[in-house]
Structure 1
């Protein structure tokens, strides 16, 4: 009986040890190459000694990981805090637009990333690193690296091809993939790098050497990916509201004017749907460039639909 108890205790301790090992060893940077650790530190303006052994570099990354990646908003200025709230579709509390402490509190309450989710993201960089790229940048990346893209070359097919070939392409070139080097942006011009930062409200490094531009794009790509997905969702919600409004408007015409006006109703609905489709397309394209632009397009979409509805009403009056 004693043997059985001891055996069970050993098994329990071994299990707990394995769990602890998994918990403490799950940080993405634990598996990074030494050059990737140095690159991350350099990108985030964290000084490190040279030469330094890998363990020292890893400890430096670990001590700065939360402040730089998990909760980066603590070091943002008022403009960056406002921009984030806008990109997420949140309304800044009235009267707090320039109050940094209040803005910081609002951003913190809306923040969804955790240490675990960030670590998981950096364990699968290829899943999101291309999200904020334009269609032309994706095409240039695939073409310059000889990556075949099935026809038609839609954004989805370009993204799929880039992601699927990311690992093999880097391996062939002898490059790392966990925290990629400048090779990933070799098809980008300096002006594209600057534009990417400007469009998202990220400060452009001074002096603006190409290496520094790439570093700033790389270190902000995760946040840009999160913001663009939020902007796309916001635009989608706006479009859904528009479509529901169109359906209700069409029903109102039928109820008020009767079946005799069905052809007029069809024309009216077509006018409104045209405005809604245009608004949705604009919002979708803007989401690729930044949250603020997408939010603005969604708002413009509402205005377009209202204008379309008014035109449709005038049309009905003229026809009847």
Structure 2
């Protein structure tokens, strides 16, 4: 076994037995300056009004997350952090913040909302730091083509976290108004009633901050307020535009953003009208057709029921995929009608019917971005939502099981380390090859599925 391979795989084995949190009371005797220094050294914002007790509480809350994470800790945190970025916490209410912090091991999240946001952001910073660290460690293990493929597999989740963690927008350069002269900014703010005509002159930084509320927050979609450079940066971060390619023109950038932009908090029903929401709930027997329900309640009902609805679950399966699955699992008579296929799948495979895969609620733009990032060429992207979901499901299963399979090997009864490492190596290199093959075949996958589906129908109905 090559030393580089041993180093890379040991990241997983070492983490398998590591504990999540440690404890310490080292900071109990620290003075106020020492507490502030520790917080500043760990890039944690310190409100000027905080007392020594509040500072100590902030250190305590961040103590574990500021220490180096084990791989096991990082892998366990993926589900919570993969769909977030730092700015997400600013939009959360106290209840959601406390719930999130409890999930991260903060036993009693206390303090005002401002402190909860700071604490959540520090946890996120620790996660992204761990992502970068493990990605870098994986990169140092590169030794030949095989090790390179292993590096790609081992760092794939870290790369996903990096893509989602887009940096904060800079008022001075990232908005369309960032290049406006001060007078133009001032006139716009006066016109919108944000500034009084006789108001004292404000500094440029203050004007730009006011523009963020008056201009950027009222723009729909949000990226319409972004500069060309920041739109390009977002597209590069999400693997839509190549970093070394010439900067696209404004109209091309906007077309790409329109096709692929999403916020991590966006859901497929986010743009639905009240009528759309109610129609879905009625069709899925959640409410009666004559029910009088306000929008907030309609949205909450959708959130609670969407992923478990039959239509939602089976929309991610094509007719041919269901036929193939049923034939492979011993069903000799397979119906041609989708309604009957769904009923048979429901009865045959309950685990599929009760899935809670988060991609089922993603808007179409996020599904497109995910597929592009997972090797599907833009020309092969499905044009319908069911098609997008079906292609996403295939790749989702593949990427979500890689490290789970590694942990199964590590925790198995096989005692010989070399044998374990060989099993992991074979699994990862096979995974990398499978990913490359999937990308190569993406353009004609739909055609092959259709042909195979027709053949299975003929076999099942006795026509062959």
TM-score, normalised to structure 1, is: 0.29
Which structure has more relative contact order (CA 8 Å, sep 6+)? It is: 1
* Higher helix residue share: 1
